[in-house]
């Protein structure tokens, strides 16, 4: 039987606003780059809060902080919650932070009720999720999951040439434990959606079923540069005309497959109003939550580029730039989030995450799922990022219910 515990959304909101002052910007956002002094300050705050609840705060060699609240059975691995407290240079008050502070509110609720879980409950603050100061992103959870080595993580440099290892040492958050050595039974991450779906549909909770696969390409169409006034349409090898046809077709492919396709960069060369472009370069970002579908989409997109190029007697190249496979979440974890929304009577829908999250890496080593709440106009990585107190509270309540349900399954 599950306890009827209720989180305090006012207390959660107060924590969000209190910590937003650490690196707070005049426009209401946060600048709290990974391993900066602001990051150190919010980590110190987080450690104090967790210790005040009787948690033990472990810090691993990647700087990941794991606060553990003991359960009745010390032989069980912890059920974990978490996200990150670092932000983009002009970040908002919710991306990542809601997942950590929502978890802290769960801890406070358990503590206040004196509720004893069977398994220990863990709350993680992952190092450098954003990748804004040190690229790549999600490095703390990647080292945790064994995707990168500690040495790789340490070697990445910021633009001033400071290594991530040096910065970690400098703020005093290099722990002794080996990342991943604690091990989790499961991992739940609460996050703002960072997209418009929940808000547009009037949903309160997104039951996240996985993270989309992403493939990036740089593409070139090579026609023939010629004079816009003296080259009849029939004689043209217009790279821009081929590009336009391919772009329209690629959009249709994404729609047909229920995936996403984006051309974010395009340039025509030599770039003069009266010269027919001999070359067009562009990027292609394709995403789908199923790798097989994504592969089909990419195959069809290449055909679309090839056919459009052929129609205009042009050559083309499609070079892979990035490839991140789809990461489905654990069915049991997903079911517990769904059950929580049903129990609470919250409007909810299944959703896939278009962005990467630490949960993408934890999913490789333990059962994982995520909980999304709406954010205003889908805006994120922006100082104007916004979510309501009520929605943040609903998200934290679902997080609590999911953790307790996972704990109750024994």
List residues binding a second copy (CB under 8 A).
Answer: 193-197, 200, 212, 214, 216, 226-233, 235, 238, 240-241, 243-245, 247-248, 251, 254-255, 260-268, 271-277, 280, 283, 285, 287, 321, 353-355, 378, 380-381
Output 32 or 287, the one with its CB closest to a second copy.
287
Shortest separation between residue 353's beta carbon and a second copy, angstroms? 8
Output 48 or 235, the one with its CB closest to a second copy.
235
Shortest separation between residue 333's beta carbon and a second copy, angstroms? 21
Shortest separation between residue 30's beta carbon and a second copy, angstroms? 18
Shortest separation between residue 223's beta carbon and a second copy, angstroms? 12
**H or E element in which residue 323 lies:** strand 315-324
3-state secondary structure 247-306: HHHHHHHHHHHCCEEECCCEEEECCCCCEECCEEEEEEEEEECCHHHHHHHHHHHHHHHH
Shortest separation between residue 400's beta carbon and a second copy, angstroms? 25
Output 268 or 334, the one with its CB closest to a second copy.
268
Output 119 or 309, the one with its CB closest to a second copy.
309
Output 4 or 159, the one with its CB closest to a second copy.
159
Phi and psi for 323 in degrees, rounded to 5?
Answer: -150, 115
97-113 vs 9-20: helix crossing angle, rounded to 10: 130
DSSP string, 157-182: B-TTS-BHHHHHHHTT---SBPTTSS
Query: With the CA atoms of 364, 175, 191 and 322 taken in that order, what torsion angle do they form, in degrees rounded to the nearest 10?
Result: -50
* Category of 224 on φ-ψ map: left (φ > 0), alpha (ψ -120 to 50) or beta: beta
E strands in 8-146:
56-59, 65-69, 79-83, 121-125
Shortest separation between residue 248's beta carbon and a second copy, angstroms? 5
Shortest separation between residue 138's beta carbon and a second copy, angstroms? 14
Q: Sort strands 205-211 and 368-373 into parallel, antiparallel or unpaired.
A: antiparallel
Shortest separation between residue 163's beta carbon and a second copy, angstroms? 26
Say whether the peptide bond before residue 270 is cis (omega within 30 degrees of 0).
yes
Q: Report the distance separating Cα 13 and Cα 338, nearest Å.
A: 24
- Other C-beta atoms lying within 10 Å of the C-beta of residue 212: 23
Q: Residue for token digits 């909101």? A: 13
Output 165 or 195, the one with its CB closest to a second copy.
195
Torsion sign, CA atoms 244, 245, 249, 250: negative
3-state percent helix, strand, coil for the chain, nearest multiple of 5:
40, 25, 40
Shortest separation between residue 285's beta carbon and a second copy, angstroms? 5
Output 136 or 354, the one with its CB closest to a second copy.
354
Output 27 or 178, the one with its CB closest to a second copy.
27
Q: Which residues of 91-101 are buried (b: 16+ CB within 10 A; e: fewer)?
A: bbbbbbbbbbb
Output 235 or 342, the one with its CB closest to a second copy.
235
């Amino acid at each position: 039987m599950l306890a009827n515990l209720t989180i305090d959304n006012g207390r959660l909101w107060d924590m969000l606003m209190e910590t937003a002052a650490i690196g707070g910007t005049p426009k209401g956002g946060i600048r709290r780059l990974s391993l900066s002094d602001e990051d150190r300050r919010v980590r110190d705050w987080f450690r104090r809060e967790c210790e005040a609840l009787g948690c033990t705060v472990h810090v691993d060699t990647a700087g990941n902080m794991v606060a553990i609240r003991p359960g009745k059975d010390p032989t069980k691995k912890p059920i974990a919650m978490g996200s990150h407290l670092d932000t983009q240079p002009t970040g908002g008050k919710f991306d990542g932070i809601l997942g950590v502070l929502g978890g802290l509110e769960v801890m406070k609720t358990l503590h206040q009720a004196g509720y004893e879980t069977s398994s220990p409950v863990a709350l993680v603050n992952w190092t450098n999720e954003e990748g804004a100061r040190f690229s790549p992103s999600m490095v703390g959870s990647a080292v945790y999951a064994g995707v990168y080595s500690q040495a790789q993580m340490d070697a990445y440099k910021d633009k001033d040439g400071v290594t991530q290892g040096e910065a970690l040492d400098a703020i005093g958050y290099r722990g002794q434990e080996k990342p991943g050595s604690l091990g989790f039974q499961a991992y739940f991450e609460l996050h703002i959606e960072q997209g418009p779906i929940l808000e547009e549909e009037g949903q309160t909770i997104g039951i996240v079923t996985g993270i989309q696969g992403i493939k990036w390409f740089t593409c070139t169409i090579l026609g023939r540069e010629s004079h816009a006034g003296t080259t009849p349409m029939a004689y043209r090898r217009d790279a821009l005309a081929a590009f336009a046809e391919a772009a329209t077709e690629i959009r249709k492919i994404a729609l047909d497959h229920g995936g996403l396709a984006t051309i974010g960069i395009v340039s025509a060369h030599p770039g003069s109003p009266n010269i027919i472009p001999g070359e067009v370069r562009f990027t292609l970002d394709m995403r789908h939550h199923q790798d097989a579908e994504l592969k089909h989409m990419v195959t069809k997109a290449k055909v679309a580029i090839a056919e459009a190029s052929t129609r205009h007697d042009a050559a083309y190249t499609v070079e892979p730039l990035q490839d991140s496979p789809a990461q489905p979440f654990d069915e049991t974890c997903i079911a517990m989030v769904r059950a929580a929304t049903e129990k609470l009577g919250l409007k909810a829908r299944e959703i896939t995450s278009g962005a990467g999250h630490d949960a993408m890496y934890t999913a490789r080593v333990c059962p994982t799922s995520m909980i999304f709440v709406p954010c205003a106009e889908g805006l994120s990585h922006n100082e104007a990022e916004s979510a309501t107190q009520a929605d943040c509270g609903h998200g934290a309540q679902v997080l609590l219910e999911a953790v307790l349900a996972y704990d109750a399954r024994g």
